[in-house]
Structure 1
Amino acid sequence: MLPRSFLPALLLALGTSGCAAISALDSASEPLDIYELQTPVIEGAARRGWAELVVEEPIASGALSTDRIMIRPGPLQAQYLPGARWSDETPAMLQTLLVRSISETGAFASVGRAPLGGQGDYALLGELTDFQAESYGTDAPVTVHLRLMLRLVRERDSSVVASRTFEVRQPAADDETASLVPAFDLAARKMVSEILPWAARAGGGA
């Protein structure tokens, strides 16, 4: 049986714990600002291709497979911007950018996430290794760093037609959301703009 003097302290502890749990639930339910990236401006269309291209969602580490906006204060540390997120998980968002952008070039007869029939002509496979802002050390410059390894595979024989790594570094004014999101947008548009002619040439559409 508990001493009478212990009961007030126990009730106070339970009340405090309950308040902390309610506070955590309240913060988890706070709405986050949602951001999405734009496709680059397509300067003229390529010669219309005949092939069907399937763009697979890039594989990525658990730290990148999220809709949170990552910033690294050190090479081995991952943090996320408070109060902000992407419109989709990062690999899926990048897949959408590639599907839309490659489709607009006209270099392929069709571009999608899944083949129209039983199998497409080509598949674009990717591994996303970097999609974050970096600021290593006090007063260090802030840079958005994107790195995507791509392989274009011919479906009928599973042969790799072409492979290349695309990497972009874009300076940002500071580590505030208002500065980082435009820097991410510019970096992504630069990277996708480099991917488009490569994919068109590799797939025989240009």
Structure 2
Amino acid sequence: MKLTRLALLAGFTLISACSILPKSEPSDVYRLPAAQAPASAGSAAAQHWSLRLNKLQASEALNRPSIAVIPQGDVISSYKASRWSDPAPVLVRNRILDGFQRDGRISLLSTDDSNFQADLELGGSLQAFQTEYQGTQASVVVRVDALLVRGYDQRILASRRFEERQPLGDVKVPAVVAGFGQASDRLTAKVVAWAVEQGQKVAPPARP
């Protein structure tokens, strides 16, 4: 009986202790808004080389689902009770993949989620994916240092920095998320156009 009473007492004590622990605050989970305009290249010539899209390298502050914001100076924070559906490098890679699919000139596409080999690889680093304040004016900033690499030996064939800023008239989270979508759309269009242009110069010739 004593053992039974001790076990029950311990159980009630544990339950009581658990009940006073702070509860985690629920978060709103946001995806990057769907592309607003199709990026079709129309009757442009189809490319016969394959392209693999790699997740961009990023700092610890960006390589997570938090929606980053720099309220002042060099302080990196995040929006309370809100987060992305995936870490920023995954969001940007998937948006660029969607851009290539909409463009239509390169049909042989893959990502680093698979082990498929490709003629060329597109990667690099994500330098900014955040809201930045200049005084009272806020803007979304997306900055990518892109690298086009040969698949079989990882030789860098071309590189370029892309940056887009989207001023925000409303700093509530839904409006901020919409700003990320707009900036990402413009950056994606430029990355796709550049990668296709460079790939035409350096990709291996089509096999007979």
TM-score by length of 1: 0.80
Counterparts of 1:99-138 in structure 2, within 5 Å, are: 99-114=97-112, 119-137=117-135
Task: Decide which moves more: 123-132 or 111-120.
Answer: 111-120
Counterparts of 1:60-75 in structure 2, within 5 Å, are: 60-75=58-73
**Kindly, what percent of the aligned residue pairs are identical?**
26
Measured in 1, the distance between the counterparts of 2:20 and 2:124 equals: 41
Helix, strand or coil at the partner of 1:70? strand
Q: What is the aligned counterpart of 1:173 among 169, 178, 183?
A: 169
Counterparts of 1:37-186 in structure 2, within 5 Å, are: 37-39=33-35, 40-45=37-42, 46-114=44-112, 119-137=117-135, 140-186=136-182
Measured in 1, the distance between the counterparts of 2:17 and 2:127 equals: 41
Measured in 2, the distance between the counterparts of 1:95 and 1:64 equals: 14
TM-score by length of 2: 0.79
Note the C-alpha offset of 1:198: 0.5
Measured in 2, the distance between the counterparts of 1:189 and 1:180 equals: 14
Please provide the CA RMSD for this pair: 2.5
List structure 1 segments (4+ residues) > 6 angstroms apart after TM superposition: none
Measured in 2, the distance between the counterparts of 1:78 and 1:118 equals: 36
> What is the aligned residue count?
185
Task: Decide which moves more: 63-72 or 109-118.
Answer: 109-118
Q: Determine the structure 2 residue equivalent to 1:13.
A: none
Measured in 1, the distance between the counterparts of 2:65 and 2:103 equals: 28
Q: Determine the structure 1 residue equivalent to 2:3.
A: none
Uncovered stretches (5+) of structure 2, i.e. residues with no partner: 1-15, 202-208
The answer to whether the 8 A contact 2:129-2:140 is kept is yes
The answer to whether the 8 A contact 1:72-1:136 is kept is no
Measured in 2, the distance between the counterparts of 1:33 and 1:116 equals: 26
The answer to whether the 8 A contact 1:47-1:106 is kept is no
Uncovered stretches (5+) of structure 1, i.e. residues with no partner: 1-16
Residue by residue, what CA displacement relative to the aligned partner does 1:157-184 show, whole Å, maximum 9, x if unpaired?
A: 4332211100011100132113211111
The answer to whether the 8 A contact 2:150-2:157 is kept is yes
Is the alpha carbon distance of 1:18 and 1:37 closer, same or farther for their aligned partners in structure 2, counting shifts above 3 Å?
A: same
Helix, strand or coil at the partner of 1:143? strand
Measured in 1, the distance between the counterparts of 2:104 and 2:148 equals: 17
Task: Decide which moves more: 96-105 or 183-192.
Answer: 96-105
Is the alpha carbon distance of 1:32 and 1:18 closer, same or farther for their aligned partners in structure 2, counting shifts above 3 Å?
A: farther
